[in-house]
Amino acid sequence: MEQGYKFEEYQETANWLQARTKHRPQIAVICGSGLGALADLVTEAEAFDYSSIPHFPRSTVLGHAGRLVFGKLSGLSCVVMQGRFHMYEGYSLSKVTFPVRVFRLLGVHTLVVTNAAGGVNPAFETGDVMLIRDHINLPGFSGQNPLSGFNDSRFGERFPAMSNAYDRELRERAHKVWLQMKEKRPLQEGTYIMVPGPNYDTIAESHVLRLLGADAVGMSTVPEVLVARHSGLRVFGFSLITDMVIMDYESQATTNHEEVLEAARQASKKLQTLVCTLLGSLSEPGEGR
């Protein structure tokens, strides 16, 4: 079993970043495929390529810029990941989740996770936004969990609860923001299931995912949430439904990454409004944590 990083390595990265930016982030945002445009809204921005940051992995996927952007969003000091890391890139889960513990050492108290996902719930449509209420860690069923191995109590306890992984208050706020935005489609809410990838699911697999209770499926997010909650961070997450999984053997449709990126591009404005308005509500008097 891989032993992962030592506490001192997380601390070295945090110290390196703190020595090079004036910002002290409260909020961290991890941008999924095609969703990195959110970082363009950061003011007083200071950006670092992943390749320059000690111990940071490299993002190799189209649609992931591979930069860490510090600055302000809606009046809050933030750090935004333009691109994340995945199991299917060949990275261990300790590498996939490495930034989350660095964020904790930087003083972050809330993590926002975003992803592009396939719609499993037949009531969904391409372009819908789904708040993540819960998740199913499918790789975890086979023992692939970023919390496996030595537990460093400086980050969290051995057996963290996950029944409250996604913050209820933030989800309620998001629904209010969505109503104010007057979008035609409702803001969805449901369960995200993680598969390891990199292939898209077969029709039979898609039916199994639905039977398991999934509303959306993707290849990321869950490991980061596990480590965030282990570290005591509050978590808010949403999926952009960029395609509907194929359930019909008579269908001639296929899923490809370019279409996923295009769907994310088309939805970028409403996603930016949702996140920025939600974060803005956290900067109101009495709302800090």
pTM recorded for the entire structure: 0.93
Q: Is the pLDDT of residue 257 over 90?
A: no
Quote the domain boundaries for residue 273: 7-282
> pLDDT class for 268, splitting at 50, 70, 90?
confident
What is the Cα–Cα distance from 18 to 24, expressed in whole angstroms? 8
Whether residue 134 lies inside any domain: the answer is yes
pLDDT of residue 36: 76
Question: pLDDT: is 262 or 241 the higher one?
Answer: 241
pLDDT of residue 219: 96
pLDDT of residue 289: 42
Whether residue 289 lies inside any domain: the answer is no
The CATH number that applies at residue 199 is: 3.40.50.1580
What is the Cα–Cα distance from 216 to 101, expressed in whole angstroms? 26
- Total domain count, the chain: 1
Whether residue 2 lies inside any domain: the answer is no
Average pLDDT, the chain: 91
> pLDDT class for 259, splitting at 50, 70, 90?
confident
Whether residue 263 lies inside any domain: the answer is yes
| Residue range 3-27, pLDDT digits in tens | 589 999 999 999 999 999 999 999 9
Whether residue 245 lies inside any domain: the answer is yes
| Residue range 70-91, pLDDT digits in tens | 999 999 999 999 989 999 999 9
Residue type, 195: V
Whether residue 187 lies inside any domain: the answer is yes
Average pLDDT over residues 141-163: 95
Strands 129-137 and 188-194: parallel
Q: What is the DSSP string of the chain?
A: ------HHHHHHHHHHHHTT-S---SEEEEE-TT-GGGGGG-EEEEEEEGGGSTT-----STT---EEEEEEETTEEEEEEES---GGGT--HHHHTHHHHHHHHHT--EEEEEEEEEE-STT--TT-EEEEEEEEETGGGGT--TT-S---TTT--SS---TT-S-HHHHHHHHHHHHHHT-SSPPEEEEEEE---SSPPPHHHHHHHHHTT-SEEESSSHHHHHHHHHTT-EEEEEEEEEEEPP--TT------HHHHHHHHHHTHHHHHHHHHHHHHHHTSTT---
Whether residue 288 lies inside any domain: the answer is no
* Residue 91 CA: distances (Å) to CA of 87, 98, 198: 5, 11, 13
What count of Cα atoms within 13 Å lies in the side-chain half-sphere of residue 220?
27
| Residue range 55-75, pLDDT digits in tens | 999 877 655 578 999 999 999
Whether residue 1 lies inside any domain: the answer is no
| Residue range 204-223, pLDDT digits in tens | 999 999 999 999 999 999 99
What is the Cα–Cα distance from 198 to 131, expressed in whole angstroms? 23
Exposure string of 189-227, with b = 16+ CB inside 10 Å and e = fewer, is bbbbbbbebeebbeeeebeebbeeebbbbbbbbbbbbbb
Q: How many CB atoms lie within 10 A of CB 257?
A: 16
